[in-house]
């Protein structure tokens, strides 16, 4: 005590104040750490102690753009349920995933989804409560049923063929090098323009005009890509700082800052146009998404307000452009380094698509086994949204009961989630889980019957696997296929499942088939494992932020 008094007597008042603040903060923090480790109802859930006592661990991995990978590491180490932050639990178990995200659980989304709001307003993907979300979903769901999307099929085919023609004319003899992330995003903007607004966004034309002259991509495409990143940044930064950032006098930054207004204005213009053409649109069998939403009613007397129509459309435009573009780019990159798969796929498509400019209908494309396997494998490793889909554990409202997850009681309000990143890489389900192996989805074709029953591994395929890897191939193709499918959640699950999954699947199929039928693909200089390493910030992207591939026209 005397020693303490002596030390204090030597300090200035300012130094004493600083010491007092530091000490108080230390005591406060130690109390919280003590609570989290020894008293919190979540203390029994395994996980590293440092993640349990502060958000620091998870935040560093969010900032390093490696959240999925880091959480995956914890799940491998600690088992199927792990505490990754004081109030956050991630699990990896298929039945539990179905329970948490299923129809009967009716769990709300976490506050994280507020960062995805469009023009400050909610839409289906954000934090609307279960009942309000249901009303919203009734407005758009019928638009994305396959029968309705089929009405747009020929337009979609024409947009893909336009892209093919651009690649042909740019690389007639030696092929052309392009960043597919940009190219496919422009394609998806044109696709979304057609089905959402009956509008030709001319995004591909802008791409071809600007890109080959070395210019930056067009403003709409930039804004659509910037929009979600801007939302994340707003979620992290204090309001004062974000508001101050608007004064940075750098054009590219200004575009980023203004991206929400730009996309909002684009959609509002479509709304004005739509009002002008309302009568003509109402007569059309092929109604746009916007048309449907304008006709949608929240109740008998309450139409869906214009501001909600705009935010809903903006939400779909954002959700439906970069996502499909990313997955398609990663698949093309894999094909560019797997010539064996590429050659087999080209053979399948040559037979199904004798005229390289005549795209078969969707049903025909869906019947192609290798194309289907490549898409499934692409959606397994490269789903655009493999991140934890956060939900709030029930019980806080007093009407619902608290939940038990894998034997642990979860206090109301805890954030719970599973992530497709881990489910899709479970080694006991997906042998050699980190390898892109479309063959795993068609084992019947890649295994040969044994004379004494059962199947053995064919010698003509699996060229990329070592003998020890081949040992891991499941012995019963039928069982294996069912098991793989049960573990595939690229679009989420339950009532909040991806609204546009039919469209995404359709476009991936049409675009990939047409590209592979018409071009050979090769990685450009600098496109390699390092540049294509997956980073994540809710959606994934390659480390280099681009995917440069060379498209060389095939003969015939
Ligand atoms: C490969 C492409 C795509 C992937 C991997 C993907 C993935 C997802 C995922 C995982 C969710 C669920 C989020 C959650 O539960 O928290 C979601 C929601 C959603 N997605 Fe997609 N998506 C894709 C393409 C599209 C497209 C093309 C559209 C529409 C044009 C779209 C529209 C939506 C909408 C509206 C929601 C919110 C659904 C709701 O809660 O009602 N997505 N998407």
Please indicate if the annotation marks 447 as binding a ligand.
no
Pocket of ligand 1, candidates 136, 501, 509: which has the most ligand atoms within 8 Å of its Cβ, to mutate?
A: 501
Which of 123, 508, 66, 518 is closest to 316 using CA atoms? 123
* pLDDT at 229 (0 to 100): 87
From residue 159, alpha-carbon distances to 114, 146, 188, 236, 320 in Å are 33, 19, 9, 38, 16
Pocket of ligand 1, candidates 152, 194, 416, 498: which has the most ligand atoms within 8 Å of its Cβ, to mutate?
A: 498
Q: Is residue 336 over pLDDT 60? A: yes
Q: What is the pLDDT of residues 375-434, one digit of tens each?
A: 999 999 999 999 999 999 998 777 788 899 999 999 999 999 999 999 999 999 998 999
Q: Is residue 490 over pLDDT 80? A: yes
Q: How far does residue 320's CA lie from ligand 1's centre (Å)?
A: 7
CA-CA distance, 520 to 550, in Å (whole number)? 8
Tell me which residues have their CB closer than 6 angstroms to ligand 1: 124-125, 137, 192, 315-316, 319-320, 323-324, 327, 383-385, 389, 490-492, 496, 498-500, 503-504
Q: What is the DSSP string of 217-282?
A: PPHHHHHHHHHHHHHHHHHHS-HHHHHHGGG---HHHHHHHTHHHHHHHHHHHHHHHHHHTHHHHH
| Domains within the chain, CATH numbers bracketed | 140-442+468-553 (1.10.630.10)
Mean pLDDT on 294-313: 95
Q: Is residue 102 over pLDDT 60? A: yes
Q: What is the pLDDT of residues 432-483, one digit of tens each?
A: 999 999 999 988 776 655 444 444 444 445 667 887 887 778 877 777 788 9
Pocket of ligand 1, candidates 136, 140, 319, 415: which has the most ligand atoms within 8 Å of its Cβ, to mutate?
A: 319
Query: What is the complex's ipTM, to 2 decimals?
Result: 0.98
Q: What is the pLDDT of residues 241-285, one digit of tens each?
A: 999 999 999 999 999 999 999 999 999 999 999 888 776 666 677
Q: Is residue 95 over pLDDT 60? A: yes
Q: Is residue 81 over pLDDT 80? A: yes
Instruction: Output Rg (C-alpha) for the chain, integer angstroms.
Output: 26
pTM of the model: 0.93
Q: How far does residue 323's CA lie from ligand 1's centre (Å)?
A: 8
Atom from ligand 1 closest to the CA of residue 508: 1
Other Cβ atoms less than 10 A from the Cβ of 25: the count is 10
* pLDDT at 475 (0 to 100): 75
* pLDDT at 281 (0 to 100): 64
Q: How far does residue 156's CA lie from ligand 1's centre (Å)?
A: 19
Atom from ligand 1 closest to the CA of residue 133: 41
Q: Give the 3-state secondary structure of 298-345.
A: EECCEECCHHHHHHHHHHHHHHCCHHHHHHHHHHHHHHHCCHHHHHHH
Per the prediction, the chain carries an average pLDDT of: 91
Q: How far does residue 318's CA lie from ligand 1's centre (Å)?
A: 10
* pLDDT at 397 (0 to 100): 76
Mean pLDDT on 541-556: 92
Mean pLDDT on 316-345: 96
Q: Report the percentage of the chain scoring pLDDT > 90.
A: 74
* pLDDT at 455 (0 to 100): 43
């Amino acid at each position: 005590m005397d020693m303490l008094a002596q030390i204090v007597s030597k300090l200035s008042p300012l130094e004493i104040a600083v010491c007092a603040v530091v000490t108080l903060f230390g005591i406060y923090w130690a109390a919280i750490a003590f609570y989290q480790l020894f008293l919190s109802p979540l203390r029994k859930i395994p996980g590293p102690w440092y993640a349990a006592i502060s958000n620091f661990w998870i935040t560093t991995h969010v900032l390093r753009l490696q959240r999925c990978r880091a959480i995956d590491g914890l799940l491998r180490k600690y088992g199927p349920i792990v505490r990754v932050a004081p109030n956050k639990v991630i699990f990896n178990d298929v039945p539990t995933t179905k329970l948490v995200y299923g129809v009967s659980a009716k769990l709300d989304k976490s506050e994280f989804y507020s960062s995805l709001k469009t023009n400050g307003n909610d839409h289906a993907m954000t934090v609307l409560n279960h009942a309000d979300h249901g009303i919203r979903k009734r407005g758009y769901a019928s638009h994305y049923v396959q029968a309705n999307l089929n009405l747009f099929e020929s337009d979609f085919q024409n947009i893909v063929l336009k892209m093919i023609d651009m690649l042909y004319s740019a690389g007639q003899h030696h092929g052309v090098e392009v960043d597919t992330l940009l190219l496919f995003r422009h394609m998806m903007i044109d696709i979304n323009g057609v089905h959402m607004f009956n509008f030709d966004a001319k995004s591909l034309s802008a791409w071809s005009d600007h890109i080959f002259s070395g210019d930056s991509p067009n403003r709409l495409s930039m804004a659509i890509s910037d929009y979600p990143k801007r939302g994340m940044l707003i979620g992290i930064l204090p309001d004062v700082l974000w508001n101050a950032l608007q004064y940075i006098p750098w054009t590219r930054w200004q575009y980023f800052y203004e991206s929400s207004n730009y996309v909002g204005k684009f959609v509002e213009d479509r709304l004005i146009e739509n009002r002008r053409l309302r009568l003509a649109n109402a007569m059309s069998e092929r109604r746009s998404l916007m048309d449907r939403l304008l006709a949608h009613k929240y109740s008998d007397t309450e139409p869906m307000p214009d501001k909600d129509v705009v935010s809903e459309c903006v939400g779909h435009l954002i959700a439906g452009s970069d996502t499909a573009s990313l997955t398609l780019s990663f698949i093309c990159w894999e094909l560019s380094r797997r010539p064996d798969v590429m050659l087999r796929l080209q053979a399948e498509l040559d037979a199904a698509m004798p005229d390289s400019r005549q795209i078969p209908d969707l049903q025909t494309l869906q019947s192609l086994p290798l194309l289907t396997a490549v898409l499934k494998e692409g959606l397994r490793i490269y789903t655009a949204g493999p991140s934890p889909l956060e939900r709030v554990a029930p019980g806080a409202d007093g009407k619902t009961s608290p939940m038990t997850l894998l034997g642990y009681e979860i206090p109301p309000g805890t954030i719970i989630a599973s992530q497709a990143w881990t489910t899709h890489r479970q080694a006991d389900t997906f042998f050699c889980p980190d390898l892109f192996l479309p063959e795993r989805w068609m084992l019947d074709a890649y295994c040969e019957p044994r004379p004494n029953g059962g199947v053995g591994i064919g010698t003509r395929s699996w060229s990329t696997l070592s003998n020890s890897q081949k040992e891991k191939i499941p012995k019963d193709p039928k069982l294996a296929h069912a098991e793989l499918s049960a573990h595939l959640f690229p679009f989420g699950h339950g009532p909040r499942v991806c609204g546009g999954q039919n469209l995404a699947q359709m476009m991936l199929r049409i675009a990939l088939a047409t590209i592979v039928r018409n071009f050979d693909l090769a990685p450009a200089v600098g496109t390699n494992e390092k540049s294509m390493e997956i980073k994540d910030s809710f959606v994934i992207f390659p480390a280099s932020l681009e995917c440069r591939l060379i498209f060389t026209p095939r003969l015939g």
